């Protein structure tokens, strides 16, 4: 087994607009902290898998597909690429072809230059705990499942790579923030890397459709990023100090399947909106009604399929999907041995829970039929158990 880890800066080299909020329309060229892509590559006798996590909103599937085609052509082994995003709303617009080209060039350079560690004695452990220190349900009267999971790879019995999976939006800053930032995932990674020499930290975004810092942040600025980020650091340190089972990591597995999507534009009765919700939620519902009307006029904007994939590392599974899924979809996997990673294999809109009966902004951009959601859940379950 061979494993490699690399980190590469993906700051745009030109003024470019951010992506994630409606008011982000003007190009900027100011940085609070660097944006990065982190590359975790696995290679056994027959396969190479590159797991890439970018500080970006969400790259389209075409970006991943092109990157995989290039790398597969260069290798004699079966080669798979999974591109994930931390979903920061303060990176460069991932739909901009200039930014895509820059990131692709830097990723390819880093992958070509990577140095693999080879061993027959790699180990791996997996931990999962409830954690609302950074964020919780952002929808009034709705309870979300919020987890912090830690997958650790060991070399010669020592921690080498720690992958954090957390399902909370990295949107502490306000929408008019005039600089690029990796938000709390970037802050947490930088602080942990500095505190633990020789250990590399990574971040994967979980099912955070209904989870954010709306009701936990004391403000919407860098001070709040440090405040909430420190809470996550403290929890990661506690988990790192726990004694956990380390099992051999001697082989990898990869699975993928496309899910065909069926869309339905719903008519939502605005009279059913609760009156005892936050002002921000009321504003978003009004905006959501406009988004729904736009989608009804432009069905070509709706995706036709999702790629769902799974990465098996020893007895543990990472399940990847593009949708901005609600936390209820975590129930499709066993979170004691698996993690659901969203904003991967492309980027899809909100997917509310199949049994949710409340009206929120997310309901308006969720056009997937009930049958599609049932097939989606079945595929997530299948992917989290593949051998």
pLDDT in the model for residue 110: 98
pLDDT in the model for residue 356: 83
Q: Report residue 47 CA to chain centroid gap.
A: 24
DSSP 374: H
The CA–CA distances, whole Å, from 248 to 200, 227, 285, 311 equal 19, 37, 49, 16
Say whether pLDDT at 236 is over 90.
yes
For the chain, which residues make up each domain, given as ranges?
Answer: 253-383
The CA–CA distances, whole Å, from 277 to 211, 282, 307, 360, 380 equal 16, 7, 35, 10, 32
Cβ-based burial of 373 (10 A; exposed 0-12, middle 13-18, buried ≥19):
buried
Give tens-digit pLDDT for 322-339: 999 999 999 999 999 999
* CA nearest neighbour of 218 among 233, 232, 228, 229: 228
Pick the range with the lowest mean pLDDT from 150-154, 173-177, 283-287, 335-339: 283-287
Task: Report CA torsion sign: 215, 218, 221, 222.
Answer: negative
Give tens-digit pLDDT for 179-231: 999 999 999 999 999 999 999 999 999 999 999 999 999 999 999 999 999 99
More confident of the two residues 320 and 293: 320
pLDDT in the model for residue 355: 84
pLDDT in the model for residue 224: 98
pLDDT in the model for residue 138: 92
**Could you give the CA distance from residue 321 to residue 338 in angstroms, rounded to a whole number?**
14
Give tens-digit pLDDT for 237-282: 999 999 999 999 999 999 999 999 999 988 777 777 888 888 888 8
């Amino acid at each position: 087994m061979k494993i490699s880890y690399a980190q590469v800066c993906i700051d745009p080299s030109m003024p470019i607009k951010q992506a994630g909020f409606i008011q982000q329309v003007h190009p900027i060229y100011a940085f609070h902290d660097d944006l990065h892509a982190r590359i975790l590559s696995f290679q056994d006798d027959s396969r190479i898998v590159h797991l890439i996590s970018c500080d970006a909103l969400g790259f389209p599937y075409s970006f991943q597909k092109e990157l995989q085609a290039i790398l597969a052509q260069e290798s004699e082994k079966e080669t798979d690429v999974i591109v994930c995003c931390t979903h920061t709303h303060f990176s460069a617009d991932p739909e901009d072809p200039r930014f895509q080209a820059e990131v692709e060039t830097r990723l390819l350079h880093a992958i070509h230059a990577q140095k693999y560690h080879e061993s027959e004695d790699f180990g791996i452990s997996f931990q999962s705990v409830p954690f609302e220190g950074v964020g919780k349900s952002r929808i009034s009267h709705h309870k979300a499942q919020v987890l912090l999971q830690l997958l650790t790879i060991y070399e010669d019995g020592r921690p080498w790579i720690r992958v954090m999976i957390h399902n909370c939006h990295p949107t502490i800053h306000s929408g008019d923030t005039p600089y690029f930032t990796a938000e709390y995932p970037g802050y947490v990674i930088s602080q942990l890397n500095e505190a633990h020499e020789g250990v590399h930290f990574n971040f994967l975004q979980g099912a955070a459709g209904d989870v954010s810092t709306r009701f936990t942040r004391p403000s919407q600025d860098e001070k709040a990023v440090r405040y909430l980020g420190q809470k996550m650091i403290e929890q990661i340190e506690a988990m790192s100090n726990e004694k956990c089972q380390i099992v051999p990591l001697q082989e990898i597995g990869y699975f993928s399947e496309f899910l065909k999507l069926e869309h339905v534009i719903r008519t939502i009765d605005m009279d059913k909106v609760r009156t005892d919700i936050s002002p921000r939620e009321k504003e978003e519902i009004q905006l959501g009604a406009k988004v729904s009307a736009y989608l009804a006029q432009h069905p070509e904007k709706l995706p036709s399929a999702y790629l769902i994939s799974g990465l098996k590392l020893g007895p543990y599974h990472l399940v990847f999907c593009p949708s901005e899924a609600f936390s209820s979809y975590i129930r499709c996997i066993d979170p004691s041995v698996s993690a659901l990673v969203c904003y991967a294999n492309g980027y899809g809109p909100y997917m509310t829970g199949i049994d949710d009966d409340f009206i929120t902004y997310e309901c308006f951009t969720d056009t997937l039929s009930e049958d599609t959601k049932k097939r989606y859940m079945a595929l997530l379950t299948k992917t989290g158990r593949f051998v």
